[in-house]
């Protein structure tokens, strides 16, 4: 290996280590040109985005195995979003972790709203907000508004019309919630969110059966 390559590799490794052990600063360090300093050393911002995504998923994986908590998850998520606001998969993943694992649906909504503001033509962000408003916060007007925003955007899944109609028709009916959890169970990439969706579906099925049984009893 040439001496120059050795120096470059050593500098790259040094800054990767600094990215891991630096204090909890949500901003990416910039050089004089306004570009992230680490990306200059690594050759491109794309390489740094890949590294931060790998770091975030590894950190969450370690949490899943009981090796660490999630106290540093928000910082790692924020630095990735600040570097690439169009990395939609990472943003959706982060919002799912924050809502389900950190039990902070409002924090997840804040991330999704910010992402929607930065990506106004991407329908998934308002669509996901609709689920959070309905299932976590029981805020039906905001759920309707979010699904309506999603429906105005190109390529939006037809599901927005179904959920909008069902909310308008049934409001807090458990059947609507079951349908939403079923949609999450079939589409979520986040394993714990899928598990939560299945648990909620079972819970709601019980509620629906009991409600239907009570209604049948009253009819006799």
- Write out the chain in H/E/C secondary structure: CCHHHHHHHHHHHHHHHHHHHCCCCCCCCECCCCCEHHHHHHCCHHHHHHHHHHHHHHHHHHHHCCCCCCCCHHHHHHHHHHHCCCCHHHHHHHHHHHHHCCCCHHHHHHHHHHHHHHCCCCCHHHHHHHHHHHHHCCCHHHHHHHHHHHHCCCCCCCHHHHHHHHHHHHCCCHHHHHHHHHHHHHHCCCHHHHHHHHHHHHHHHHHHHHHHHHHHHHHC
Per the CB < 8 A criterion, the answer to whether 60 and 73 are in contact is: yes
pLDDT digits (tens, 9 = 90+) for 77-100: 999 999 899 999 999 999 999 999
Question: What is the pLDDT at residue 98?
Answer: 96
Per the CB < 8 A criterion, the answer to whether 175 and 208 are in contact is: yes
Per-residue pLDDT at 215 exceeds 50: yes
Question: What is the pLDDT at residue 214?
Answer: 65
Highest mean pLDDT among 33-42, 61-70, 187-196, 201-210: 61-70
Q: Measuring CA to CA, how many Å separate 86 from each of 74, 114, 125, 145? A: 18, 12, 11, 23
The span from the CA of 125 to the CA of 143, in Å, is 12
The span from the CA of 88 to the CA of 43, in Å, is 23
* Residue 219 pLDDT grade (very low, low, confident, very high; cuts 50, 70, 90): low
Per-residue pLDDT at 9 exceeds 50: no
Per-residue pLDDT at 32 exceeds 90: no
Question: What is the pLDDT at residue 113?
Answer: 98
Average pLDDT rounded to a whole number, residues 111-132? 96
| Proportion of the chain above pLDDT 70, given as a percent | 76
Mean pLDDT over the full length of the chain: 80
pLDDT digits (tens, 9 = 90+) for 34-58: 444 444 444 457 888 898 999 999 9
pTM, two decimals, is 0.70
The span from the CA of 108 to the CA of 66, in Å, is 23
| Proportion of the chain above pLDDT 90, given as a percent | 46
Highest mean pLDDT among 6-20, 124-138, 206-220: 124-138
The span from the CA of 196 to the CA of 184, in Å, is 9
The domain limits of the chain are: 121-220
The span from the CA of 54 to the CA of 57, in Å, is 5
Per-residue pLDDT at 4 exceeds 80: no
214 against 116, higher pLDDT: 116
The span from the CA of 15 to the CA of 216, in Å, is 67
């Amino acid at each position: 290996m040439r001496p120059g390559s050795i120096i470059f590799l050593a500098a790259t490794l040094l800054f990767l280590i600094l990215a891991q052990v630096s204090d909890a600063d949500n901003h990416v360090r910039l050089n004089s040109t306004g570009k992230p300093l680490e990306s200059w050393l690594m050759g491109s911002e794309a390489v740094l985005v890949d590294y931060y995504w790998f770091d975030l998923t590894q950190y969450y994986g370690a949490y899943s195995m009981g090796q660490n908590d999630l106290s540093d998850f928000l910082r790692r998520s924020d630095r990735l979003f600040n570097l690439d606001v169009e990395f939609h998969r990472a943003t959706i993943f982060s919002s799912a972790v924050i809502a389900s694992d950190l039990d902070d649906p409002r924090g997840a909504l804040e991330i999704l709203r910010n992402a929607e503001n930065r990506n106004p033509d991407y329908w998934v962000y308002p669509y996901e907000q609709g689920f959070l408003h309905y299932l976590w916060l029981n805020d039906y007007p905001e759920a309707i508004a979010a699904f309506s925003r999603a429906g105005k955007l190109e390529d939006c899944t037809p599901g927005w019309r179904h959920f909008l109609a069902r909310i308008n028709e049934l409001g807090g009916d458990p059947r609507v919630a079951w349908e939403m959890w079923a949609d999450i169970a079939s589409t979520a990439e986040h394993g714990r969110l899928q598990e939560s969706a299945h648990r909620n579906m079972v819970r709601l099925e019980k509620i629906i059966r009991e409600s239907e049984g009570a209604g049948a009893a009253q009819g006799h």
